[in-house]
Amino acid sequence: MNGRALLARGGFALLLLAIGAFALFPFYHAVVTSFRSGTELFSPALWPETLDLSNYVQVFTQLNFGRTILNSVLVAAAVVGLSLLLAVTASYALGRVRFRGRGALMLTILGVSMFPQVAVLSGMFELIRALGLYDTLPGLMLANLVLTLPFTVWVLTTFMRELPKELEEAAYADGASPLTVIRRVFLPLLWPAMAPTALLAFIVSWNEFLFAFTFTLSAETRTVPVAIALLSGGSRQELPWGLVMAASVIVTIPVVLLVLAFQRKIVSGLTAGAVKG
């Protein structure tokens, strides 16, 4: 290997190192901070000197974070379940059947996913209050459907379109009804696409802030992002940073683990949703 090639290799390794460091350092720094408290926080540290878990204990005992996490999980699970349930039949119709107005419908659904959240905020507020769902978890489930349903339908439709035509023809020839065809033929084939779609929808709901911040009031209905945004110390100047970071690490680790486990599938889900659209 000559000098230039060696230099190029070194440069490439440095570039990868820089990318990795830029991507990971903030989270790493949050983990380090979460183990420190009091005056320790006044001097920045690169390594954790002690494994002080008091911040983590405090997050659950003082802040009732268990309830908050449960709220977020309940909302996200309901939103994902409903979105998938609705999207399976809708994506069959949009992906496998030719009918007039299909293109316009697809564009409308894509358009809804472009909605700025504030554009539906006052109308949604009125709706949720009229239904008696203000400051309840079902209210948030309803609101979050705006964010997850269009994209779930879109991703499953692009997947549905790729499946070979012969599949259903044989079933129809045997006299099966469309609903049977979906259940018996397509549902088993859809599972690989459903897992990443469900995960992406889960992340969207888990991270949602504006609706949860506007449509809930009490500590009992708070979701994770709202609880973290509202965490404050005695005054605005002195936030309990160790505590904030501990809470942040707790809510991030499950998502990060899920993302790492489904890494490849997420990438294909994202590209199906974006590139083919």
Q: Which of 6, 7, 19, 53 binds another protein (CB under 8 A)?
A: 19
**5 makes contact with another protein (CB under 8 A):** no
Q: Is 87 in the site for another protein (CB under 8 A)?
A: yes
- Least distance to another protein, CB of residue 68, Å: 12
Dihedral of CA atoms 60, 63, 64, 68 in degrees, nearest 10, equals -100
Q: Residues in contact with another protein, total (CB under 8 A)?
A: 93
Closest distance to another protein from the beta carbon of 54 (Å): 18
Q: Which of 2, 4, 26, 174 is close enough to bind another protein by CB under 8 A?
A: 26
DSSP character for 102? H
The helix/strand/coil state of 53 is coil
Is 134 one of the binding residues for another protein (CB under 8 A)?
no
Is 137 near another protein (CB under 8 A)? no
List the one residue from 69, 80, 124, 185 that touches another protein (CB under 8 A). 124
**Could you give the CA distance from residue 219 to residue 227 in angstroms, rounded to a whole number?**
8
Contact set for another protein, span 51-80 (CB under 8 A): none
Pick the binder of another protein from 7, 10, 53, 129 (CB under 8 A). Answer: 129
Nearest approach in angstroms of CB 44 to another protein is 4
**What kind and span of H or E run contains 263?**
helix 263-274
Nearer to another protein, 64 or 110 (CB): 110
Report the C-alpha gap between 148 and 75 in whole angstroms.
12
Residue (of 194, 166, 198, 168) closest to 182 by Cα position: 168
Nearest to 124 by CA among 202, 201, 211: 211
99 binds another protein (CB under 8 A): yes
In whole angstroms, give the CA distance from residue 253 to residue 7: 37
Rama region for 233: left / alpha / beta (φ>0; ψ in -120 to 50; rest): beta
Which one of residues 172, 195, 219, 265 is an interface residue with another protein (CB under 8 A)?
172
Contact (CB, 8 A) for 35 and 45: no
Minimum CB distance to another protein, residue 8 (Å)? 10
Question: Which strand (E) or helix (H) includes residue 145?
Answer: helix 137-162
Say if CB 117 and CB 211 are below 8 A apart: yes
The binder of another protein chosen from 77, 86, 133, 195 (CB under 8 A): 86
Widest CA span of the chain, in angstroms?
75
Among 7, 16, 57, 170, binds another protein (CB under 8 A): 16
Locate the DSSP E strands across the chain.
Answer: none
For another protein, the binding residues in 216-255 under the rule CB under 8 A are: 224-225, 228-229, 236, 241, 244-245, 248, 251-252, 255
Query: Counting contacts by CB under 8 A, is residue 3 touching another protein?
Result: no
Span interacting with another protein, options 49-57, 119-127, 132-140, 183-191, rule CB under 8 A: 119-127
Question: Is 92 a binder of another protein (CB under 8 A)?
Answer: yes
